[in-house]
Amino acid sequence: MAYAGRQPISAPEVAMAATERITMTMRELDRYKVIQAVADGMLKPWRAAERLGFVFEAGTHSLINRICG
């Protein structure tokens, strides 16, 4: 099934994607987990803004929109 003009992903591509690695610092990993928690609905954006050190909650919303939207 194709999504918005994308080609379906083949089984070898899925397997390759599952084995790729990236390198992150602990700080980057923590920030990623906070953003993921907001995207999953497990953390309120205002709380994420506190954890990420943003002064305004709008910074959290724009970051989530860039990553997930």
Q: Are 43 and 34 in contact (CB under 8 A)?
A: yes
Find the mean pLDDT for residues 49-62: 77
- Count the domains in the chain: 1
Convert the pLDDT of each residue in 20-55 to its tens digit. 888 999 999 998 899 889 889 999 888 888 888 876
| Cβ atoms within 10 Å, residue 55 | 7
Strands (E), 1-69: none
Q: Are 37 and 43 in contact (CB under 8 A)?
A: yes
- Give the pLDDT of residue 3: 46
Q: Is pLDDT at 2 greater than 50 in this prediction?
A: no
Domain that holds residue 48: 23-68
Phi, psi of 9 (to 5 degrees): -90, 130
Q: Would 8 be classed as within a structural domain?
A: no
Q: Would 61 be classed as within a structural domain?
A: yes
Q: What is the reported pTM?
A: 0.56
Q: Would 11 be classed as within a structural domain?
A: no
